[in-house]
Amino acid sequence: MRFRFHGRGGQGIKTAGRILGKAAFFEGLFAQDFAIYGAERRGAPITAFVRLSDAPILERGHIFNPSYVLVAAPSLLFDPTVKTLEGMVEGAVLFVNSSREIPILQPKKVHMIFRDVTGLALKYVGKDILSAAMGAVACKLSGTISLQSTVDSVGEELADLGLEPDMIEKNIQLAKECYLCVESVGLSGLSYKPSHKVVEVQYLGEKGIPDLLSVGNTAFRKTGSWRVFTPIIDRNLCTACGICYVYCPESCVSLDEQGYPAVDYDNCKGCLVCAIECPRKAIKTGRESAWS
């Protein structure tokens, strides 16, 4: 079985893969898990890979034809650079962290499941950290990993990260509910045919390779799509002190002619530093839904 997790930096996607791998190991399976980090910034896309088998795993590298794809941030479905659905074959399983179904153009017939695990994480943990939730969902979908192995894996992995016992217990309760909120999905008839190929990159002498000659595109990358929670300024409470303007790490808060803050929602990543620092608590937060 090949699992590919898509999420954003800070959501615990790497740890979700580790929880799945260790739980499978507890069941006597061979497991391989690893992640790639991309921009290595909080909110940036991250991908984790897990292979499980009852025999030694000889494959290496990225998973191009996943049996299961789990998407923690729905906005990634519409980011052409992430390619969340790439390589999915007919009969594969797509799990999306969403409270409602999202229309997805998918030429292959795949089994789609939508569950709001962010809502459950907020209920049990109080934060949008989904390592236990997504790991538990993957364990259940596989149909080969018991709830007990899932719980044991969550406990060990989070203890290795240094979490306090009470927070580990909250995550275990979260994992239990997420495990029970989905059904196992078999993969009968699923075939694996590697479709990727090695692309030769032409070396251009002193000019380097084509990628390095590309014009910078940072200005065109709207990091507002990374946001899970949105800062909302309450002008009735705001005193125009400018503290949010000073503390915003991404310079996404500007001041208008009266000195009141305005948020650049095209690029605000939703770190919520502004809301935390606001002495008047004049900046509220709401769950992002622009992707819908």
Of 78-82, 111-115, 274-278, 280-284, give the lowest mean pLDDT range.
78-82
Cβ-Cβ contacts under 8 Å for 236 (sequence gap 6 or more): 282
- State how far the Cα of 232 lies from the Cα of 281, in Å rounded to an integer: 11
pLDDT computed for residue 194 by the predictor: 57
- State how far the Cα of 72 lies from the Cα of 47, in Å rounded to an integer: 10
Q: Is 291's pLDDT higher than 60?
A: no
* DSSP per residue, 193-222: -----PPPPPP-GGG--HHHHSPP-GGG--
Q: Is 141's pLDDT higher than 90?
A: yes
Cβ-Cβ contacts under 8 Å for 253 (sequence gap 6 or more): 244, 245, 261, 262, 263, 264, 274
Q: Which residue has the higher pLDDT, 186 or 113?
A: 113
Q: Is 214's pLDDT higher than 70?
A: no
What is the share, in percent, of the chain residues with pLDDT greater than 90? 61
Q: Is 213's pLDDT higher than 70?
A: no
Of 12-21, 85-94, 155-164, 233-242, give the lowest mean pLDDT range.
85-94
Q: What is the pLDDT of residues 25-35, one digit of tens each?
A: 999 999 999 88
Q: Is 23's pLDDT higher than 70?
A: yes
Q: Which residue has the higher pLDDT, 196 or 149?
A: 149
**Section 125-137 average pLDDT:** 94
**Section 201-220 average pLDDT:** 69
- State how far the Cα of 193 lies from the Cα of 4, in Å rounded to an integer: 16
Using pLDDT thresholds of 50, 70 and 90, give the confidence band for residue 192.
low
Q: What is the pTM of this model?
A: 0.81
- State how far the Cα of 271 lies from the Cα of 115, in Å rounded to an integer: 24
pLDDT computed for residue 190 by the predictor: 62
* Residue 20: count of CB within 10 angstroms of its CB: 32
Q: Is 196's pLDDT higher than 80?
A: no
- State how far the Cα of 150 lies from the Cα of 182, in Å rounded to an integer: 14
- State how far the Cα of 127 lies from the Cα of 58, in Å rounded to an integer: 37
> Helix or strand or coil: residue 32?
strand
Q: Are 137 and 117 in contact (CB under 8 A)?
A: yes
**What does the block give as tokens for 245?**
């303007």
Q: Is 149's pLDDT higher than 70?
A: yes
Q: Which residue has the higher pLDDT, 196 or 290?
A: 196
> Helix or strand or coil: residue 157?
helix
Q: Which residue has the higher pLDDT, 130 or 218?
A: 130
Q: Is 292's pLDDT higher than 50?
A: no
Q: What is the pLDDT of residues 68-105, one digit of tens each?
A: 999 999 888 888 888 899 888 888 999 999 988 888 87
**Section 33-48 average pLDDT:** 82
Cα 95 vs. chain centroid, distance in angstroms? 12
User: What is the overall mean pLDDT for the chain?
Assistant: 88
